[in-house]
Amino acid sequence: MTGAARGPQGRQFAKTPTGIRGLDEITRGGLPTGRPTLVCGGPGSGKTLLALTFLVNGVVQFGEPGVLLTFEENGDEIANDVASLGFNLPELIGSGKLAVDYVHLERSEIQETGEYDLEGLFVRLNYAIQSTGAKRVVLDTIESLFAGLSNDGLLRAELRRLFRWLKDKGVTAVVTGERGDGLLTRQGLEEYVSDAVILLDHRVHDQVSTRRLRVVKYRGSFHGTNEYPFLISSDGITVLPVSSLALQHDAPMDRVSTGISDLDEMLSGKGYYRGSTILVSGTAGTGKTSLAAHFLDAACRRGERCLCFLFEESPKQLLRNMRSIGIDLERWVEKGLLKFHADRPSRYGLETHLVTMHKVVADFAPTVTILDPVTNLLTVGTYSDVQAMLTRMIDYLKTENITALLTSLTPGQTDIERTETTISSLMDTWLLLANEEVGGTHRRGLYVLKSRGMAHSNEVREFALTDRGLQLLDTSGATGEASAVRGISTERMHAS
Amino acid sequence: MKKSNGSAEYRLRLYVAGQTPRSISAFTNLKKICNEHLKGRYQLEIVDLLQKPQLARGDQILAIPTLVRRLPEPVKKIIGDLSNTERVLVGLDLRPAR
């Protein structure tokens, strides 16, 4: 299974897919077929895992047998390491499609006298390749040889010979290397493996870790040059290719109900546009989540799949709270239509959140997605970081034609917050909720600040959270007090 | 090429890959050392990895030629063409390292 891509000179290069989500997009098809690729990074950056995933996917997904020559961990250790990711190495080895050879050198038991070469390594590799019919080979981490043998000059010559030999064999190889001082790898392997180089990085900033991947070099092929965040989760590696941001998504004309018929009415009678992005902002306790719950409930009633990211409450809390206003979401969870994904924002960095959300969305394939509340992400990033992250997320959701509703918590009874003004440009529809104290009672007001592509109401409507959900109060029956809500709120809400 | 001596004190195995000049020279050097220092006390086995590639793994062979002292324990490995007799003797524990 190889894909072809055209190099800058117009030559055709075959590519071998890694089967790693995102990486094949960045490299436009995978690694160069029949050539070695260097994967380098610091300790714990995920080199071995990436290499093994490439190998196992080869066997499992693409029918390409593989060979692992490991210099650091023995077969059992490797098998244990990857078992948690669902790779069953012993089974693959048993099927004869994967061979693992642990190459171990103990310097203390070796005496060097006179000339030698590393033909033994070639013999072993060749034997493993032949016995499995391997198309993919992983060498992890070959630099360990430098610790076992003293003749650096000879080692370098032999490595050069090895990489040439691998090319002659026509196998697609992944060679891992430890990041060195000022060099991509300690021993300067990049000098020998110069077809493709992938750099992995694991940074911890403010106790929050983010993994990043960069294609440093890919001879004869276009590739994404950015740093891409990636994720190591229970089902392997996911790399997030930054979406094009080319604003090419469709603009569907069909509409979806907000779940509140009076609100549909305010949005030119039909509700939100499908695939659009809605921001619901307001201070604490104004009913943002309730508004989202109505939308979820309505979508599930239509049999659509909904995904709800929670950054504050647990799913149980939310289900309980919504039950108290008469919205039973639990049945949709039981039916498998509604899925919650709750994560503390501080659990990891924004980019990791982004990759995680991407992956969860891709896996669940919803038509409606809720993010509640996005403002909690500000605890792990700056305004501009959050905006950049949301831009990418929203862009992705739009590409997939997923309707997204984001809630945003406004800290106080002040002007519209900076967060909101920064992300509001990404929004198609912006709803504002406010709490006002009028005559000793709390009044809730709702206002459609903007809604692109439709004639929407400009009224501030008073609403109540009842045991039958969020209900807009009748405008015709509006009392003086309700008008007061309208008046105050309008004044404040016109900050846009 | 085998010299059997069931009760041999030294059990040696020389790994080569084909009849290369280096392999031949290693074999010649080894024979000479054995005759001079281990006469009647050793057993030598030659393994050609081109014929038995599967054997490379068991003894963790990378370098060619490699001489493995399988007995007495601990296992010792001497890599190279064995041209430096002194170092071979040290490697075989026949002479203390200086």
CA angle B58, B63, B65 (to 5 degrees): 95
Answer yes or no: is A197 within a domain. yes
* Amino acid A9: pLDDT: 45
Answer yes or no: is A38 within a domain. yes
Q: Return the top range by mean pLDDT from A242-251, A303-312, A376-385, A418-427.
A: A303-312
In 3-state terms, what secondary structure has residue A222? coil
Answer yes or no: is A273 within a domain. yes
Mean pLDDT of chain B: 88
pLDDT band at A331 (very low <50, low <70, confident <90, very high): very high
pLDDT band at A496 (very low <50, low <70, confident <90, very high): very low
CATH number (domain holding residue A428): 3.40.50.300
> Are A266 and A371 in a shared domain?
yes
- Which helix (DSSP H) or strand (DSSP E) does residue A47 occupy? helix A47-60
User: Among all chains, which residue has been given the structure tokens 């069931």?
Assistant: B6
* Amino acid A1: pLDDT: 43
* pLDDT (tens digit per residue) in A229-281: 888 877 778 887 655 445 556 677 889 999 999 999 999 989 999 999 999 99
Please state, in angstroms and as integers, the Cα–Cα distance from residue A78 to each residue in A81, A147, A189, following that order. 5, 20, 23
Nearest-CA residue of chain B relative to A111? B78
Candidates 3.90.1580.10, 3.40.50.2020, 3.60.20.10, 3.40.30.10; correct CATH number of B10-91?
3.40.30.10
The chain A residues in contact with chain B (CB within 8 A) are 101, 103-105, 109-121, 123-124, 126-127, 145, 148-149
Query: B75: which chain A residues are within 8 Å (Cβ-Cβ)?
Result: 109
Query: A123: which chain B residues are within 8 Å (Cβ-Cβ)?
Result: 17, 49-50, 53, 56, 61, 64
* pLDDT (tens digit per residue) in A159-174: 999 999 999 999 999 9
Query: B80: which chain A residues are within 8 Å (Cβ-Cβ)?
Result: 112-116
> Are A156 and A288 in a shared domain?
no
Instruction: Inform me whether the pLDDT recorded for A338 exceeds 90.
Output: yes
CA distance A460 to A334: 37
Among A239, A274, A289, residue at a domain's last position: A239
The chain B residues in contact with chain A (CB within 8 A) are 15, 17, 22, 26, 29, 49-50, 53-54, 56-57, 60-66, 74-84, 87-88, 90-91
Query: B88: which chain A residues are within 8 Å (Cβ-Cβ)?
Result: 111, 113
Helix A119-132 to helix A152-169 angle, to the nearest 10 degrees? Answer: 20
> Are A368 and A394 in a shared domain?
yes
CA-closest candidate to residue A442, choices A407, A402, A409, A485: A485
Among A213, A239, A265, residue at a domain's last position: A239
Answer yes or no: is A106 within a domain. yes
pTM above 0.95, yes or no: no
Chain A nearest CA to B48, separation (Å): 10
> Are A378 and A232 in a shared domain?
no
> Are A181 and A263 in a shared domain?
no
Q: Which of A34-43, A125-134, A344-353, B68-77 has the lowest mean pLDDT?
A: A344-353
CA distance A449 to A429: 8
**Cβ burial A197-211 (10 Å sphere, 16+ → b, else e):** bbbbbbeeeeebebb
Query: Could you give phi then psi for residue A337, rounded to 5 degrees?
Result: -85, -25
CA-closest candidate to residue B59, choices B43, B70, B74, B73: B70
Instruction: Inform me whether the pLDDT recorded for A5 exceeds 60.
Output: no
Among A239, A274, A300, residue at a domain's last position: A239
> Are A234 and A273 in a shared domain?
no
Structurally, how many domains does chain A consist of? 2
Instruction: Inform me whether the pLDDT recorded for A412 exceeds 70.
Output: no
CA distance A176 to B57: 21
> Are A222 and A283 in a shared domain?
no
* pLDDT (tens digit per residue) in B33-72: 999 999 889 999 999 999 999 999 989 999 999 999 998 8
Answer yes or no: is A244 within a domain. no
Instruction: Inform me whether the pLDDT recorded for A205 exceeds 90.
Output: no
* Amino acid A136: pLDDT: 97
Answer yes or no: is A315 within a domain. yes
Q: Rounded mean pLDDT of A377-404?
A: 84
> Are A208 and A290 in a shared domain?
no
- Residue A473 sits in which domain range? 255-493
Rg (CA), chain B: 13
> Are A87 and A37 in a shared domain?
yes
Task: Choose from A69, A115, A132, A139 for mutation: most chain B CBs within 10 A.
Answer: A115
* Amino acid A274: pLDDT: 93
Task: Choose from A70, A93, A107, A116 for mutation: most chain B CBs within 10 A.
Answer: A116
Domain residue ranges in chain B: 10-91
Is the ipTM here above 0.95?
no
The answer to whether A128 touches A99, Cβ cutoff 8 Å, is yes
Query: Taking CB atoms and an 8 Å limit, are B76 and A115 in contact across chains?
Result: no
Q: Rounded mean pLDDT of A137-142?
A: 92
pLDDT band at A326 (very low <50, low <70, confident <90, very high): very high
Q: Rounded mean pLDDT of A317-321?
A: 94
* Amino acid A245: pLDDT: 46
pLDDT band at A419 (very low <50, low <70, confident <90, very high): low
Q: What percent of chain A has pLDDT above 70?
A: 88
Answer yes or no: is A37 within a domain. yes
Chain B nearest CA to A104, separation (Å): 6
Q: Which of A364-368, A483-487, B45-49 has the lowest mean pLDDT?
A: A483-487
Chains A and B form CB pairs within 8 A to the count of 93
> Are A294 and A377 in a shared domain?
yes
* Amino acid A365: pLDDT: 94
Answer yes or no: is A248 within a domain. no
DSSP β-bridge partners for residue B43? B11
Beta strand B10-16 pairing with B66-71: antiparallel
Instruction: Inform me whether the pLDDT recorded for A59 exceeds 90.
Output: yes
- Which helix (DSSP H) or strand (DSSP E) does residue A129 occupy? helix A119-132
Please state, in angstroms and as integers, the Cα–Cα distance from residue A85 to each residue in A81, A98, A140, A148, A237, following that order. 8, 17, 18, 31, 9
* Amino acid A479: pLDDT: 46
**Minimal Cβ distance to B82: which of A113, A120, A126:** A113
The secondary structure of residue B31, as a DSSP letter, is H
The answer to whether A39 touches A174, Cβ cutoff 8 Å, is yes
Q: Rounded mean pLDDT of A343-366?
A: 87
